[in-house]
Amino acid sequence: MQKMIKGLKCNRYAVDFDTREIEQEHHDVVIIGSGIAGVYTALDISPEYDIAILTKQTIEISNSVLAQGGIAVSLDKKDSPELHFNDTISAGAGICNEESVWVLVNEAQKNIRQLCKYGVNFDQGSKGELALTREAAHSMNRIIHAGDTTGKEVCDKLISVVRTKKNVEIFERTFVIDILTEDEDDRCIGVLAYDEDKGAYKAYYSGVVICAAGGFGRLYRHTTNPEIATGDGLCMAYRAGAVLTDMEFVQFHPTVLHHPENESFLISEAVRGEGAILRNKYGRRFMPAYHEKAELAPRDIVTRAIFEEMKKTDSPEVYLDITFKEKKYLEARFPNIYRTCMSYGIDISKDMIPVAPAEHYCMGGIKTDIYGRTRIKGFYACGEAACTGIHGANRLASNSLLEGLVFGHKIGSEVSAILKDRSECDAGKPSVEVRGKTRTRGADISYKTPRKKLEDDHLSARATIRSLMTEKVGIIRSGESLASAMADITKLWEKYSGARHEGIDEVEVENKLLLAMIVTRAALMREESRGAHYRTDFNKTDDEKWKRNLDFIRDTDG
């Protein structure tokens, strides 16, 4: 069941522009983002079509690259897609889209085989089979991996392949600001972007746009996400009229390195999968008191347990203990974690690892069907930017990379079929030019305005957003904390949404504020606790009233 909510009033476009006055390019397909979802989708589109990949920084920087644990797939003789389905549904706490989950688990194997054909080197067992490990809330060993840098291995291989494709052009340091649409039917005709190297706006026209721009971890003070994860893809989709759903469900990873020099380095769940134990500052193991599965309980439960234990012991951290494993084993199984911890003077074969929770993944996003289609014709979404309904209220470990692969493949097939019918999608040949008039204040902007240095008020706004979201819309929430956050964010929104933007720094701040308001409002509306959304004033799950999704759409009256 869904509940559609008229969302916040905001301008249709984030900046003033006129496509007649800026540089234009035409492509069959535009893909926003260069993580696993975006690059894999590009490889699955027929090579006869011209594809542009637009990425905010360099192509190597994405959330996907930082993924450590692996990819979930049922390969063991004792395992099955049905068991994988059941584990995913269980972790999702009652609001997964079962059709999407069935697609995920049934199409996993063929996409993993394709990765192997692209040259991805997953770890192997003694007989040459893919090695399998277990992570929290999985009933079987089904996580394939490449050491503890699975995301990087997959991304490196996919990027190396996509660079050889003559039909794919990569545009780095290109900040996509908004989706261009025809007003009369909201058909997507391309995107407006900002070329950071040229210091100029540019229109990329296309009949197909695929958003794989990632999540919004940078709304929080501590996150495993890179600097680019500011939710820009969700905001441009929302402004264009797409639906955002499940936005209240934000997953915090329970074990992130807690060190003065690094509070964003992930200590993979696979470490607990290999037997690591959580201990408090007194050296006592505490997880069995919180859940029967102890360290392998679902992520939201482990995260809240750590949060409570830190509060009980008045400590900013707990400790992950895997010292019972031999040094040689740890160096081979977790080489990146071992090296990184050693660089901070922590020998994980002898020392416990100081850890604390940090924001990791957003279950919500741009609402799509199983083919990645949104409510805007010609506009698709996949990866963390999308919400296919797979994760429900709490993502099952190692399903995210798989989701990007499975649904990237489905989008690739769908788009290839559509592009064959030029009457269905006249790709690269828009019938209209687009002008976006967003502000009434100030003079017309220059289209060659360089990205200016962040001013003090922008830095202050970013810091305020991170503090509010962490302290009031974080792991433990309440009606009081959420209402307080909403009031404070609204004041900032009224200030920034009324100012004319002269650079992408301002757009990023407004995007963060827009998402902060939507996440907070969704959390305030959901008067229950479910999965990653936990409220002290409604600490039980209420299926009768809240076994549903909250869908947000822009208030066009404004």
Catalytically annotated residues: 299
DSSP letters spanning 244-282:
EE-TT-EEEEEEEE-BTTBS--B--HHHHHTT-EEE-TT
Q: Give me the amino acid identity at 213.
A: A
For residues 256 and 244, what is the distance between their CA atoms, to the nearest angstrom? 28
- Secondary structure in 3-state letters for 16-53: CEEHHHCEEEECCEEEECCCHHHHHHHHHCCCCCCEEE
For residues 382 and 366, what is the distance between their CA atoms, to the nearest angstrom? 8
**What kind and span of H or E run contains 168?**
strand 168-171
Tell me phi and psi for residue 353, to 5 degrees: -95, 120
For residues 469 and 472, what is the distance between their CA atoms, to the nearest angstrom? 5
CB 519 within 8 A of CB 219: yes
Pairing verdict, β 365-367 and 386-387? parallel
Rounded to the nearest angstrom, the gap between the alpha carbon of residue 158 and the centroid of all alpha carbons in its chain is 19
DSSP letters spanning 190-242:
EEEEEETTTTEEEEEE-SEEEE-----GGGSSSBSS-TT-S-HHHHHHHHHT-
For residues 11 and 3, what is the distance between their CA atoms, to the nearest angstrom? 23
* Tokens linked to 490: 């609204």
Assign residue 190 a region (left: φ > 0; alpha: ψ between -120 and 50; beta: otherwise). left
DSSP letters spanning 272-317:
HHTT-EEE-TTS-B-GGGT-TTGGGS-HHHHHHHHHHHHHHTT-S-
